[in-house]
Amino acid sequence: MKTSLKSFLAVLMLLSMPFGAMAQTEDLDPENTLYLDLEYGRVVIKMFPDVAPNHVKRIKELVRQGYYDGSPFHRVIEGFMAQTGRNGKTGEEGTGQKIDAEFSDMSHYRGMVSMARPDDINGADSQFFICLGFSPHLDGKYTIWGEVVSGMRNVDKIKYGEGPDFTDPDKIIKMQVAADVKE
């Protein structure tokens, strides 16, 4: 009985991890990998150009423009998600360039990166969120374009809060496409 419970808990723990976290980060395509640096450390995101090609293309354009550098995590809800993507320099909520939805059969489990949007299904712009827990109610309603494959412990340290009383959110220090980094 004790062995079965231990096995069950081990499987449950594995299922709560992002699938990519079990893979080696050295195997990642640098052109489709993002480095998101926080004060707590680096977060590595594997992008899915085969699942959401237009979203991945737009995210890379914004990253290369430095759009996300200094962007606050303005909505962070424990066990749900950490949202960011306002312009880190101007504070504007988006770029004004909407992206049509690219829904897939992927699920919003812990570590998945997905686009935020208003009520308009095709209204995604620059804001995105990282799932902090399993959120299947978002499936088929928001475009998943990547997953955290390293550094989820740093995402877990982001301060919780939202709304007008959330005056000191954590920010993205720097966000880069791995292919552009000379380290």
Tell me the backbone φ, ψ of residue 72, rounded to 5 degrees: -80, 150
Q: What is the pLDDT of residue 4?
A: 60
Its CATH class, for the domain covering 2-180, is mainly beta
Confidence of residue 12 (pLDDT cuts 50, 70, 90): very low
SS3 content of the chain, % helix, strand, coil (to 5): 25, 25, 50
Tens digits of residue pLDDT in 69-106 = 999 999 999 999 999 998 878 778 889 999 999 999 99
Which residues have a Cβ under 8 Å from the Cβ of 121 and sit 6 or more positions away? 101, 141
Cα maximum dimension of the chain = 58
Residue 114: pLDDT over 80: yes
Task: Tell me the per-residue pLDDT of 140-176, one tens digit each, with 9 for 90 and over.
Answer: 999 999 999 999 999 999 999 998 899 999 999 999 9
Contacts of 134 (CB under 8 A, 6+ apart): 16, 107, 108, 109, 110
Residues pairing with 49 in the sheet: none
Domain ranges of the chain: 2-180
Mean pLDDT of the chain: 89
pLDDT tier at 9, thresholds 50, 70, 90: very low
SS3 178: helix
Q: Residue 155 and residue 126: Cα distance in Å, rounded?
A: 19
